[in-house]
Amino acid sequence: MRNSAGQKIIYEEFDQKPKLNSDLCDDQHHICCYCQQILTHFQGDKNGGSHNEHLIPENGPNANFALQMDYDNLFACCISSVGLQKKQQHCGESKKARLIRGVIQEVNCSSLFKYNSLGEIIPNGAFDSFEDYKGDKANLPKNQFEVLELIETLNLNCSYLVNERKKDQTALIKVLNQIPKARVEQQIQAFEQEPHFRRFIDMLLYYMRQKK
């Protein structure tokens, strides 16, 4: 369970950021809180690197000073898109100081999303593509509207993430077509208990649970 970091100082003055990041990564099974890519270290090399992300921003017009050192407001987030063109920035680099619905704090987070054959992550609703959801955004139910806004703010359907999801999806479906449902159900349990999750774990489980 997440507890307060117990610090009265502001985050900028906090001198144990790497240790905090290690704790966050352990809690998150070493995947990014937003895109679910693998995290291996704090800052430094962008490949596997992460920073300590404030869900409610620490600075800017949407900041909440009281939450700067609140552990429930802190998450490990990838830095893989730092320095890229805006259209390829994602997760914290895309979000910056904007507000999003805190679905990563919700128990049923994964049930709010689904995936399509293109490798896109989309709200769990009637449409089957990201473009269709965007085209009918004004008419979406509240849950789906907020999830779509989150996906757009975090740019979770930038071409890089879509292509990488598609690779893992294709490999998984090839395996699923060759093994019985009982074995898939056993593998689901094994995946959920791993201390280090597979990347895009929720997408993998989404397709595994559809095995008939």
Same domain, 40 and 95: yes
Measured CA to CA, the distance from residue 37 to residue 55 in angstroms comes to 18
Question: At residue 6, does pLDDT exceed 70?
Answer: no
Q: Which of 51, 74, 99 is the last residue of a domain?
A: 99
Same domain, 126 and 208: yes
Same domain, 206 and 154: yes
Question: At residue 8, does pLDDT exceed 90?
Answer: no
For residue 120, which phi and psi values (nearest 5 degrees)? Answer: -85, 150
pLDDT of residue 7: 45
Same domain, 115 and 195: yes
pLDDT of residue 158: 98
Beta strands in the chain (DSSP E): 41-42, 49-54, 74-78, 113-115, 121-123
Domain count, the chain: 2
Same domain, 111 and 204: yes
Same domain, 59 and 5: yes
Model pTM score: 0.94
Alpha helix positions (H), 6-57: 17-27
Measured CA to CA, the distance from residue 101 to residue 134 in angstroms comes to 17
10 Å CB burial of residue 58 (0-12, 13-18, 19+) is: buried
Nearest to 90 by CA among 32, 170, 130, 129: 32
Stretch 14-18: mean pLDDT: 95
Instruction: Give me the chain's average pLDDT, please.
Output: 95
Stretch 184-202: mean pLDDT: 97
Q: Which domain holds residue 203?
A: 105-212
Same domain, 95 and 140: no
Same domain, 208 and 117: yes
198 secondary structure, DSSP code = P
